[in-house]
Amino acid sequence: MNIVITSTGNTTDSKFDLRFGRAAYFCVYNTHDQSTKFIENENAEAQGGAGTKSAEKIIELDVKRVISGDFGPKAKELLDKFKVQMVMLDDGNSTIEAIINKIS
Amino acid sequence: MAVKIAIASGKGGTGKTTVSLNLFHYFRQVLDTSVQLIDCDVEEPNDKLFLNDHQAQKIQTVNQLIPQIDTNNCTFCRQCVEYCEFNAIVVIPPAQFAEVNPALCHSCGACLHACNTPNAIVEQAHPIGQIQNYTENGELNFIEGRLNIGSAMQTMLIKEVIKSPTVNADIQLLDSPPGTSCPVVATVNNVDYCILVTEPSPFGLHDLKLMVDLLHELNVPFGVIINKSDNHYPEMDAYFEEQNIEVLGRIPFSTEYAKRYAQGRIFENIPKDVEEAYKEIISKLQTKVCYYA
């Protein structure tokens, strides 16, 4: 299963990004082989609709669970529609690695 | 053509509504001229609260055309997504999913232009708000725009409200929303003259400057009314002097008058000094009206 963790940078040392639509990177963690892949969020600076476009990206990546600080209403609606589980984590000091250790 | 005068402020709560209603009242009383009041503050129109004798007429619904994607015809090529400046379209090819988010759509029509597939995108009308006409003794002289709750299409509605009057008048007074953003631009953009209502305080002056910059950019002539003028704030007068800005009048503060405002009885027992201030403002505006007519 693919899990996305929103990240402020493109390594596992990076801090967790509390924002979903405007997260700097999406870390795609594959639970089968424990691999990670970082995708730059091209909508981070969008004038509007960043949440919608990020949700679209998540669905395209065939992700079943997203871990982020919070989700806006438009992103939430779309993720709900495609049965993507949203996990909210209120910890901006955590690294991506620490979160992966927690869920694996 | 009516002479269009907008009443704007920058800062909220300086007295746009009070000034708009009083000008509506005194213009007709002093000049014997036909005046229309148009409430352009579509997110929270409140002029009607003070106009008890006005009769509601037919309501006109304003619609926004929002494209809808028919997934039976769509090829999921994402061309429309590329064209959409507002990120309003979501197309997920593997899921055979394509949808327009009405909250983000600006009805620009770019997606229709982008799409090469017949009947894949069709525009449908979505209501964004209403325009309500009111008459007083049979004369249509008050128009109110009211945005539907949840809609973000203020500017589109304001533009429709401004061009909606079917009956002509000598003067149109446009009560503007607060601030200096798009809804205000939509209100003051094509007026002949703008009245800026301010209050003598640092906050009042700060936001007034933003509004002055905006009007310079739009090339709209303007003058200032200082409301609650009792407060002494020399920085403001220095600014007017330095910028060569015309002060149309100063309206003193009155607790009694503010109480009647809160009760919706703005035209009762107007204090003498307030009345004199408005009459002086009207005489200054009269020459401008003649100039722009």
ipTM of the complex: 0.84
Burial class (CB in 10 A: 0-12, 13-18, 19+), B96: exposed
Are the CB atoms for B37 and B141 separated by under 8 Å?
A: yes
Please state whether beta strands A25-30 and A36-40 pair in parallel, antiparallel, or not at all (unpaired). Answer: antiparallel
Alpha-carbon distance of B250 to B225, in angstroms, equals 6
Which CATH architecture best describes the domain B64-127? 2-Layer Sandwich (3.30)
Chain A contact present for B182, CB below 8 A = no
Residue B152 has pLDDT above 90, yes or no: no
Are the CB atoms for B274 and B260 separated by under 8 Å?
A: no
Q: Which residues of B257-292 are buried (b: 16+ CB within 10 A; e: fewer)?
A: beebbeeeebeeebeeebeebbeebbeebeebbeeb
Q: Which residues of B70-83 are buried (b: 16+ CB within 10 A; e: fewer)?
A: eeeebebbebbbeb
Q: Say what the pLDDT of residue B78 is.
A: 95
Segments making up each domain of chain B, as ranges: 3-62+129-292, 64-127
Low-confidence residues in chain A, pLDDT < 70: none
User: Quick one: closest CA in B to A59, which residue?
Assistant: B92
Q: Which domains does chain A have, with CATH numbers?
A: 2-103 (3.30.420.130)
CA A80 to chain centre: 15
Number of neighbours of residue A41 by Cβ within 10 angstroms: 23
Kindly report, residue by residue over A29-41, the tens digit of the pLDDT.
Answer: 999 999 999 999 9
User: Quick one: closest CA in A to B88, which residue?
Assistant: A49
CATH number of B3-62+129-292: 3.40.50.200, 3.40.50.2020, 3.40.640.10, 3.40.50.300? 3.40.50.300
Strand extents, DSSP E, B93-137: 97-100, 121-136
The answer to whether the Cβ–Cβ distance between B86 and A49 falls below 8 Å is yes
Q: What is the mean pLDDT of chain B?
A: 94
Kindly report, residue by residue over B231-256, the tens digit of the pLDDT.
Answer: 889 999 999 999 999 999 999 998 98
User: Quick one: closest CA in B to A51, which residue?
Assistant: B87
**Alpha-helix residue ranges (DSSP H) falling in B166-230:** 182-188, 202-218
Residues of B in contact with A43 (CB under 8 A): 87
Q: Say what the pLDDT of residue B32 is.
A: 82
B207: alpha, beta or left, given left = phi > 0 and alpha = psi -120 to 50? Answer: alpha
Secondary structure class of B283 (helix, strand, coil): helix
Which pTM value belongs to this model?
0.80
Kindly report, residue by residue over B27-62, the tens digit of the pLDDT.
Answer: 999 988 899 999 999 999 999 999 999 999 989 999
Nearest CB neighbour to B94, from listed A43, A46, A60: A60
Q: Compute the radius of gyration of chain A from its Cα atoms.
A: 12
